Chain A
Amino acid sequence: MQSRRRSWFWPVTRFVEFARCARLHRALIALALAAGFAATPAPALEESNSPPTGAWEFLRTQFYGDREIGVVDEEFMRLDAPANTPDPAATPLTLHFGKGAVGNIKQVRLIIDNNPLPLASTIDLGKDVPVDEIDLRVRVDRFTSARAIAETNDGRLEMRSAWIKASGGCSAPPSAADGGTMGEIRFRPSPDAKSLQVSIRHPNHSGFQIDPKTGDAIPPHYVSHMRLSSNGKTLVDVDSGISLSENPTLRIVSDQPFAAPLTLDAEDSKQGHYSATWTGAAAAGQPTAADGTH
């Protein structure tokens, strides 16, 4: 085991490598270094279905200290991602919760080990919310392990992970859906209202995309927080970062229909505030008029 142990500054070295390869924005370097210098030596743990890669050993210590993390079977939780993502800038990540997990999870962290900033999202779930699936779209920069670490209401930590082969997701230029009115919010329920997708029109600049006019990196500008609530009660609360795709999208699925009204409140990294409420009035499947305030 000793041979697997890496020096304490190894994560820092990795971040600097990323910085060189992908023209990391100066602020991100500062952040990564600050985090790196605060680190303590990472334990060289083995996880049966997720060999440690990239920043994981480091982040594990940061977030969870030496708490035990179980590796659960898919009956409890599953993380689905395309093994070879066709569209690295918009890679679907799907979290499935099994019977033992629904209503019993208070937080999930999504970590993409080899992304420049690996913590893609921290998702807090409202108490007794019967969500059995959460979908996000993320940028994946290179071959990586993605992992979901769930904390249960009784304080256990459980992890599932998936390998993703990808390249260039963080630096990819805007898609055909570029533009529109920043902050426009769309709710798309399924006809039975058991799934609901909510999207915010936002470039979600990662800090790694190139401005074609200057050749320099476009500064990061991303949705940092999304909260979906029903009459003031939180269903899902997501802290996010540069790893979310352009036009950030959150999709939740339940075995029961979601009831209107549902409100999305979002903030971005430049203090932009966006809010809209789904009133359930529109025909199922059609985007509902977002009563938004920007």
Chain B
Amino acid sequence: MRLARAHGCAIGACLLLLVAGATRANPEPPALDVDEAAPGVFVHMGKLLPLDAPGHDDIANIGFVVGSRCIAVIDTGGSPRIGRALRAAVKKHSTLPICYVIDTHVHVDHVLGNIAFKDDKPEFVGHAALAEAINRSRSYFLEHYAGDFDAPPNANQIVAPDKLVATTLQLDLGGRRLELRAWPKAHTDCDLTVLVQDAGVLWTGDLLFRERVPALDGSAKGWLAAIDELARTKVKIIVPGHGPIARDSASAWLPERNYLQTLIDGVREEIAAGKSIEDAMSHVGAAEKANWKLWDSANARNVSRVYQELEWE
């Protein structure tokens, strides 16, 4: 089912091949722009766009780490196309094999590019809860992000992890180690961070949003606890899931921490005063609005989530 063979076949057979192996029939897109944040640590900066804007498959920070033996890709973008563009960037910088594809969590903008690396036969690595989270999300992705799949969209393009991390895991890329850590429910129920030990680079996934308003899909209290622990980790470079790279741990985490604390405090007050979830959604967090971009895309939903979490504490 390779592209070369598809060229030579009869039209009917070609159509069959297109249906069966859509990804093979898609041309290689140009390589993504990547910055070398530290030696051998490459990051593509996602765009600051709403989830329904054109180009929304390219909003997350994704990239790869090159060792002396092989390469680990960290997050793969919001479409097979972005995944292929990331793979093209990997091939531009190194001829070493890709041995790991690490997913930091279940969200579509981080995992839908996995399929582009399937033929490299890497181990797909994720949080112990990621496989189930992907199962749960298949129909959601297909229904809401159909246009981001290769045509025709089908669930086989969603690749789940085969190597699961329950607590921590060390991966050896040859000459450098990655330390993976699985977190209790925070941004989602399957957040994983990656520490490039020798370079002091912490890849946070969406446990850290900078500039773009954070989106809560897990537990606000769990997220705060994760932030407090991560902010104490001594690192030189922090690669957030969204927004610019940071170099100072204390200041990098502070805005997000303040935002989540504001929501928690605000919602607790509303609940104590007997206010409805609707009241809370209409104004909690307002004081933080000036600090974030794409505010309306996430704040009211976050407040709703926090309210539903805290009304049972």
Contacts and interface: CB of A to CB of B under 8 A. Distances in A.
Number of contact residues on A: which range applies?
35 or more
A176 B305 contact: yes
Interface string B274-308: 11111001000000000000000010110011001
A197 B276 contact: yes
B231 interface: no
Interface string A178-210: 001000001011110001110101000000001
Interface in B104-156: 132-133, 135-136, 138-140, 143-144
Contacts of B139: 23, 171, 210
B177 interface: no
A171 B144 CA distance: 12
A180 B308 CA distance: 13
Contacts of A168: 140, 143-144
Interface string A153-177: 0000000000000011001010111
Contacts, number: 94
A92 B278 contact: yes
Interface in A58-113: 80, 82, 86-87, 90, 92, 94
A173 to B, nearest CB: 5
Contact of A176 (B275, B300, B309): B309
B308 A86 contact: no
Main secondary structure of the interface of A (DSSP, over half): loop
A251 interface: yes
Contacts of A190: 273-275
B311 interface: yes
B304 A176 contact: no
A284 interface: yes
A100 B220 CA distance: 43
B276 A175 contact: no
B304 A90 contact: yes
Contacts of A177: 308-309, 311-312
Which 7 interchain pairs have the tightest Cβ spacing?
Answer: A190-B274, A212-B132, A86-B301, A87-B304, A92-B278, A86-B300, A212-B136
Given A168-B143, A197-B274, A201-B312, 16 more contacts: A80-B278, A87-B300, A94-B278, A168-B140, A168-B144, A176-B218, A177-B312, A186-B312, A190-B273, A190-B275, A197-B276, A212-B132, A213-B135, A249-B277, A285-B273, A285-B274
